Structure 1
Amino acid sequence: MDPLLVLFLSLGAVLTVLIVAAAGVLVVRFALRDAKSQDRAGILTAAAEVVRAFRGRR
């Protein structure tokens, strides 16, 4: 396999992971911005469940 192709594929994979992570952080940040303090635990728990589902633990 061409080394340049491997480089582009790995950079694409890393960039994809960074974009998905940034999107997740922004979604949680916007959800927490106007939330009351008693609702924040539920929002964070839901975000953790989504992460677990993506990682295949649920």
Structure 2
Amino acid sequence: MDITAWVWVPVAAMLVAATAAVLIVAIALRGTESSDRAIVIKAVAELIRAVRGRRR
């Protein structure tokens, strides 16, 4: 592999992960009441941490 692949593969992977996180939040927040949004965002953050392998 050439040097450009070593640069673009991690960048592309991070872009895919960030896009997935935004889509998960957008789908999870659709149709929720404003009082429940903080709980939903916290749950999604825990899900993303678990997928990435980092838990509190």
Give TM class, smaller chain.
0.7 to 0.9
Q: Which residue of 2 aligns with 1:5?
A: 2
Mark the structure with the bigger radius of gyration.
Answer: 1
- Consecutive unaligned residues in structure 2, runs of 5 or more: none
What is the percent sequence identity of the aligned residues?
A: 38
Q: TM-score, normalised by structure 1?
A: 0.72
Higher RCO (CA-CA < 8 Å; seq separation 6+)? 2
More helix by share: 1
TM-score normalised by L of structure 2: 0.74
Distance in 2 between the 1:57 and 1:33 partners?
Answer: 26
Question: Number of residue pairs matched?
Answer: 55
Q: Is there any run of 5+ residues in structure 1 with no aligned partner, and where?
A: none
